[in-house]
């Protein structure tokens, strides 16, 4: 399982890549593997307000439908429109082209609650 050291992680299996006052978010390699083949991704709307710990997206696979929880609070500033026609990008490139959305942070201190790669690896047994 791939756990890039330059990312932060939530215990709910989302990854976070900081870019100034915003972050890019997706689901981890561990999560996509547990889901199986992803067939649909519901991305949030640009401009939507999200609260840390609240569901803001769904990923549907051949096995189940899973909520995606916001690892931080803020406003959705961009979404990955490619997932509308290529949801499998979540499986093939979870840390790259399979990203879900970008959020402009409202409380940067929430980033301190996220796990580093080593802690996330311990959580998942990687």
Question: DSSP for 82-114?
Answer: GGGT-TTHHHH-TTTTT--EEEEES-GGGGGGS
Residue 22 has pLDDT above 80, yes or no: yes
pLDDT above 80 for 52: yes
- Identify the pLDDT of residue 113: 95
Domain tally for the chain?
Answer: 1
Question: Domain of 37?
Answer: 8-108
**Residue 79 forms part of a structural domain:** yes
H/E segment holding residue 124: helix 117-124
User: How high is the pLDDT of residue 1?
Assistant: 81
Tell me the CATH number at 64. 2.40.50.100
Half-sphere exposure of 96 (CA within 13 A, CB side): 5
Report the pLDDT value the prediction gives residue 76, as an integer from 0 to 100.
98
In a domain, 122, yes or no: no
As a whole-number percent, the residues of the chain with pLDDT over 70 amount to 100
Q: pLDDT digits over 37-51, tens only?
A: 999 999 999 999 999
pLDDT > 90 fraction of the chain, expressed in percent and rounded: 95
> Could you tell me how far CA 85 lies from the centroid of its own chain?
18
């Amino acid at each position: 399982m791939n756990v890039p050291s330059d990312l932060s992680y939530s215990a709910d299996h989302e990854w976070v890549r900081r870019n100034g006052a915003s972050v890019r978010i997706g689901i981890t390699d561990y999560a996509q593997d547990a889901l199986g083949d992803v067939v649909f991704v519901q991305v949030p709307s640009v401009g939507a307000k999200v609260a840390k710990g609240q569901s803001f997206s769904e990923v549907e696979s051949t096995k189940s439908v899973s909520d995606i929880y916001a690892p931080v609070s803020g406003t959705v500033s961009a979404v990955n429109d490619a997932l509308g026609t290529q949801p499998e990008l979540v499986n093939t490139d979870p840390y790259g082209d399979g990203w879900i959305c970008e959020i402009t942070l409202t409380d940067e201190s929430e980033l301190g609650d996220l796990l580093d790669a080593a802690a996330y690896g311990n959580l998942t047994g990687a």
